[in-house]
Structure 1
Amino acid sequence: MLFISFNFYSQNTYVFVGSYNWNKSKKGIYVFRLDTITGTLKKITTVKNILNPSYLTVSPNGNYIYACTDTKTPNAGNVSSFEFKPQHKTLTFINSQKSGGENPVYLSVHKNGKWLVNANYTEGSVSVYPIASDGKISPITQKISYSEGSINKERQDRSHVHSSVFTPDHDYVFLPDLGADKIRCYQFDSLQKEPLQEASYSFTPAVLGSGPRHFTFHPNGKFAYCIEELTGTVSAYKYVNGKLDNIQRIAAHSDEFTDGFNSGDIHISPDGRFLYASNRGEENNIAIFSIENNGTLKTVGYQPILGRTPRIFAIDSHGKFVIVANQSTGNLVVFKRDSVTGLLNKSGKEMKVKNASCVQIKEYP
């Protein structure tokens, strides 16, 4: 029985990859099946006729894929919906809505599957959409824009919201703002037409010039972590009811790198024991940290990602594999994760995806 169950898991885990295709006639989204015994990826289907699907997220039930589209396109920006049918191996376009700002970069879905929250980078705003039962995205019902910048005049001329992340209970949404050096926060009331409500702590200040980018919560819900793009650092926070209290700030880069930081993504293993953070620029690696009982981090090591510009990476729900999307080299690399040491080792065969920008993993029943 154990062998049958494991083999079933190995054949029903799918990987969704977005890219900067720059041309609607070229493939934009790729779907692979991950063999969780061998670590091998097998291409299932692709989608064309969409432009620059730079970020993807999967609905809680796995039936729908939502994408930031028309990213990095002047005076444009959309969020788009697709239906995924694993039994038929199809990914079908449903509809699009305006993103409410140029350069949408991050999407999150509420746990009830009825709300979509989008972060617009260039303009510096957040937009919220109702989602119908058939996965169709309705027009924006709420949009909030920001203007203030920070001390790095080249990168922080104004607000640049870089992600939208629900708390584990989905009662709050956090918005790391690279441009303003703030982690913004709203209560989320899913019963309201405009669900973003003012929170008691509307933002947590980050170190000036750090550039908060992506954000993640520990599985126990007691700690949160933010990757800071411009300083190559991770800030650790104690979390309680919408409030963040900083407990540590640690370098995500090795000592041999002293400037030109360009950190990207951040995730925690499902067992809550290790945190991983990607570094782009000259480093091109994933920093590995162990997580102490008090939420602080301890550096374990650095894993070269066998490519350049690891914009997004993902960990499967069993914590067995880490898949990295390398944008500049256009390759997906699968690493097998050691659950005891947290270290990574290449597994399976690399897959080519030109300008790969995002990867998400979902296990299906």
Structure 2
Amino acid sequence: MGPKSFDLVIGAYTTGKSKGIAVYRFYTETGRLAYLSQTDDVSNPSYLAVSANNKFVYAVNENDNGEVSSFSFEPKTGKLTFINKVPTLGGSPCYVSVDKDQKNLFVANYSGGNIAVLPLNADGSIAPAVQTIKDSGHGINKERQEKAHVHTAVLSPDEKYVLYTDLGTDKINITKYKGGKDNPIVPAKPAFVNVTPGYGPRHLAFSADKKYLYLITEMGSSVIVYDYNNGKPKQKQDISLLPDGFKGATGAADIHISPNGKFLYATNRGDANDISLFAINQDNGELTFIERRPTGGKGPRNFVIDPTGKYLLIAHQNSDSIIVYRLDETTGKLSQPVNRLEIGNPVCLKFAPAM
């Protein structure tokens, strides 16, 4: 039996009601949330990573100068204690990931247009960056793609590769992860795959069997399916998130696969403010559209599925709320909301075992 409760760690923009990172206990029997703790005066912790040993939380500080902060974490109480903060060597960091052995952090600097690698010390503190890789070029959209805009830094399931999306140049970049002290990542061969011009690649998700890679495109409002083999994605499907004839503003945001591997979910912002559900073909990884429904708020930038697969929680940046939906594990469909948390500008949700 797994745990019946988890800690929900919430990152937010601090330009509104939020002051930093909040932690709530989440109960899987009912979908209830109970407040545990909050950090004070942590600037724009817009994306978080929890270490595999559950002892540390890392948060980007999405500001012009660009920093990343480390915290010790006590799962029983939800308490976060600040350790240190270092520059990310690029502006507006918007994504952070950590390897299972807790040797390095990988940070995507959006306005800096680069990925940075920062070593970790045994006490959870972050050492100065040892490597950056900066993209060059631009895309066809002169307003959004005037230069590189790196959006993610995702480890492959076997941690042999780090993939990072570039919204500005319409590429998924692929690097081998060596793990050494000098140049921990090196461009793979091929070093990137091109995405349809103007699509603006954003977030990635791997299938449970590691055979398929799914990309959500922010500006294209689509999901692209790739066969994935040892650092080599090969496109096989491009499926839209938009209903026929949709003319409003969009901004596709987040993508996740259900723990049972049967369903994929993707959110869209702008005038859409909805979540799309797809069935995953277990033989070839391709997607079949099931339904599209409103998320119940504005700006569904991030969402998370609880580890039991019973609930899906959506963070609404522009309406200051997190809404909890029950999931039907057979059909993948969302129920009516079972809970709602009012919280300022939530933009990142991470679960950790409440040990």
TM-score, length basis structure 2: 0.97
Unmatched runs of 5 consecutive residues or more in structure 1: none
Supply the AA of the counterpart residue of 1:360.
Answer: K
Q: Distance in 1 between matches of 2:249 and 2:173?
A: 26
2:319 equivalent in structure 1: 329
> Runs ≥4 in structure 1, deviation > 3 angstroms?
none
2:78 equivalent in structure 1: 89
1:254 aligned onto 2:247? no
Q: Distance in 2 between matches of 1:135 and 1:85?
A: 13
2:38 equivalent in structure 1: 46
Instruction: Check whether the contact 2:52–2:102 (CA below 8 A) recurs between aligned residues.
Output: yes
Instruction: Check whether the contact 2:198–2:220 (CA below 8 A) recurs between aligned residues.
Output: yes
1:287 aligned onto 2:266? no
The structural deviation recorded for 1:26 is: 5.4
Residues 258, 58 of structure 1: alpha-carbon distance in 2 compared, 3 angstrom cutoff: same
The structural deviation recorded for 1:223 is: 0.1
From 211, 214, 219, give the equivalent of 2:200: 211
Supply the AA of the counterpart residue of 1:14.
Answer: D
The structural deviation recorded for 1:239 is: 0.2
Q: Distance in 1 between matches of 2:344 and 2:354?
A: 26
Residues 87-133 of structure 1: CA deviation (Å, up to 9, x unaligned)? 23311111111011110000111121111000000120000011112
1:20 equivalent in structure 2: 13
Instruction: Check whether the contact 2:202–2:217 (CA below 8 A) recurs between aligned residues.
Output: yes
Q: Distance in 1 between matches of 2:250 and 2:256?
A: 19
Instruction: Check whether the contact 2:28–2:308 (CA below 8 A) recurs between aligned residues.
Output: no
1:271 aligned onto 2:263? no
Q: Distance in 2 between matches of 1:346 and 1:83?
A: 36
From 49, 53, 59, give the equivalent of 1:57: 49
Q: Distance in 2 between matches of 1:154 and 1:331?
A: 30
Q: How well do the aligned residues superpose, as a CA RMSD in angstroms? A: 1.4
Residues 169-194 of structure 1: CA deviation (Å, up to 9, x unaligned)? 01001111100000000000113432
Residues 137-184 of structure 1: CA deviation (Å, up to 9, x unaligned)? 110011111121110001000000101111100100111110000000
Unmatched runs of 5 consecutive residues or more in structure 2: none
From 136, 139, 143, give the equivalent of 1:147: 136
Instruction: Check whether the contact 2:276–2:291 (CA below 8 A) recurs between aligned residues.
Output: yes
2:342 equivalent in structure 1: 352
Residues 316, 26 of structure 1: alpha-carbon distance in 2 compared, 3 angstrom cutoff: closer
Residues 104, 358 of structure 1: alpha-carbon distance in 2 compared, 3 angstrom cutoff: same
Instruction: Check whether the contact 2:326–2:335 (CA below 8 A) recurs between aligned residues.
Output: yes
